[in-house]
Copies of this chain bind each other. A is one copy, B any other.
Amino acid sequence: MKNFNFYAPTEMFFGKGEIKNLPNLISRYGKNVLLCYGGGSIKRNGIYDSIHKLLKDCTIIELSGIEPNPRIETVERGIKLCREHNIDVVLAAGGGSTIDCAKVVAAGVCYEGDAWNIVTNPSKIKAALPLVTILTLAATGSEMDPYAVISNMKTNEKIGTESQYILPKASILDPEYLYTVPKYQTAAGTADIMSHVIENYFSTEIDTFVQDKISEGLLEACIKYCPVALEDPENYEARANLMWASSLALNGLTGCGKNQAWSCHPIEHELSAFYDITHGVGLAIITPRWMRYILNDKTVDKFVQYGENVFHIQNTGDKFTVANEAIDKTEQFFKDCKIPMTLKELNIDETHFEKMAEDAVKFGGLQYAYVPLNKNDVINILKESL
């Protein structure tokens, strides 16, 4: 087990009606609020009205229309609003994209230069406005983590930044807010949660038993409850377990004591940067192909552990049989959730594979991944995903 720091100070308010805490939370920081949200689903499901009612004593300025892969231009727009209106606290109501955008807005206000700099160089973040989030999608874990991913469509770059300063002060997680999440987004969000766990789980550290058990439990929760939520969108138990799994998958619990760079996320980021696809869908497509690509004598034991403990596959003696069955079951699970499982279905062909592979290695640190990947490896994995 490698040395690690674990720091997850976000105050989590979990359950039905927990939005009632919003006035108290916001009043800790001031009265001028930047409300960040996306395409308007919060207007349809009533969260927008609740916020305005609860914060009637505050001045609310709005940054709306945040994109599913949030753009640097939107971040810049938010920073400008904060400066013009002397904003005290940023409130993000939405999924990971909205929260990510709000994080970089909060940090950007305290940074004098070009906001893209704090995306490409996280060490430039030295302060941020306080951030409170209201989560409406179980997926990215952004509600309890120090990460944000921002896209620059001009340069086809989608880059992650990280800073303790952008950790949300508090997050409100009401599973009932997930009742109106469409099936496609429910499935893609679950794939995102699972990918966060899988990226951390497959590691050369073999003595991280506690972390691995937590990981296996979160994966089992996704496998158990995603189909339930798809079948019965208002099933509280399913939504609650998926929502809590989303936060725990990426708050440090599954990755601490392990230092590897991730494998599938850097590749998927290129897909999103070039084709603006749904992040979780890209991950679902890449993950089983990556698994098959890296399965070998050195990695097979980890796949056996994964197969036995997550999918409860009987180990009849042949390790590779168990490993391949585990990978097949991973792919089949995503298929059963109705996720399109080929790039072709997303109208993606080989055109940009060279450049995407180059950038994935360059920006994603794939040479430090569980099984180090070079440009050719990435091209091969992408071709397998067609």
CB within 8 Å of B: which residues of A? Answer: 1-9, 11-18, 175, 207-211, 213-214, 216-218, 220-221, 224-225, 236-237, 240-241, 244-245, 248, 253, 256-257
Using CB atoms, name the residue of chain B closest to A222: B210
Contacting A241 at CB < 8 Å: which of B207, B244, B248?
B207
Contacting A214 at CB < 8 Å: which of B17, B214, B225, B257?
B214
A-B contact pairs, 21 of them (CB 8 A): A1-B236, A1-B241, A3-B16, A3-B17, A3-B18, A4-B12, A5-B13, A6-B11, A6-B12, A6-B14, A7-B9, A7-B11, A8-B8, A14-B257, A209-B225, A209-B237, A210-B218, A210-B245, A213-B217, A214-B248, A216-B217
Closest beta carbon of chain B to A368's beta carbon, Å: 19
Of A13, A17, A208, A217, most B-chain CB atoms within 10 Å:
A217
Q: This chain: how many copies in the complex?
A: 2
> In the bound complex, how far is the Cα of B8 from the Cα of A6, in angstroms?
10
Of A2, A11, A17, A209, most B-chain CB atoms within 10 Å:
A209
Q: Tell me which residues across on chain B come within 8 A of A11, comparing CB atoms.
A: 5-7, 9
Q: Tell me which residues across on chain B come within 8 A of A1, comparing CB atoms.
A: 15, 175, 236-237, 240-241, 244
Using CB atoms, name the residue of chain B closest to A215: B217
Q: Across the interface, do B12 and A241 meet the contact criterion of CB distance under 8 Å?
A: no
Q: Across the interface, do A213 and B218 meet the contact criterion of CB distance under 8 Å?
A: yes
Given known pairs A5-B13, A14-B4, the reply for A210 and B216 (CB within 8 Å) is no
> In the bound complex, how far is the Cα of B211 from the Cα of A235, in angstroms?
18
Using CB atoms, name the residue of chain B closest to A144: B6
Closest beta carbon of chain B to A318's beta carbon, Å: 21
Closest beta carbon of chain B to A6's beta carbon, Å: 4
Q: Tell me which residues across on chain B come within 8 A of A218, comparing CB atoms.
A: 210, 213
Q: Tell me which residues across on chain B come within 8 A of A2, comparing CB atoms.
A: 15
Q: Tell me which residues across on chain B come within 8 A of A17, comparing CB atoms.
A: 3
> In the bound complex, how far is the Cα of B210 from the Cα of A221, in angstroms?
6
Q: Across the interface, do B9 and A4 meet the contact criterion of CB distance under 8 Å?
A: no
Contacting A248 at CB < 8 Å: which of B175, B210, B240?
B210
Q: Tell me which residues across on chain B come within 8 A of A257, comparing CB atoms.
A: 14-15, 240, 244
Of A11, A220, A225, A236, most B-chain CB atoms within 10 Å:
A11
Q: Tell me which residues across on chain B come within 8 A of A14, comparing CB atoms.
A: 3-6, 256-257
> In the bound complex, how far is the Cα of B237 from the Cα of A150, in angstroms?
38
Contacting A210 at CB < 8 Å: which of B16, B208, B244?
B244
| Known A5-B13, A15-B257, A207-B237; further 17 A-B contacts with Cβ < 8 A | A5-B12, A7-B11, A8-B8, A8-B9, A9-B11, A207-B236, A207-B241, A209-B224, A209-B225, A209-B241, A210-B217, A210-B221, A210-B245, A213-B213, A213-B214, A213-B216, A244-B257
Q: Tell me which residues across on chain B come within 8 A of A15, comparing CB atoms.
A: 1-4, 257
Closest beta carbon of chain B to A203's beta carbon, Å: 14
> In the bound complex, how far is the Cα of B216 from the Cα of A253, in angstroms?
15
Using CB atoms, name the residue of chain B closest to A17: B3
Q: Tell me which residues across on chain B come within 8 A of A13, comparing CB atoms.
A: 5
Q: 3 shortest A-B CB distances, which residue pairs?
A: A213-B217, A3-B15, A9-B9
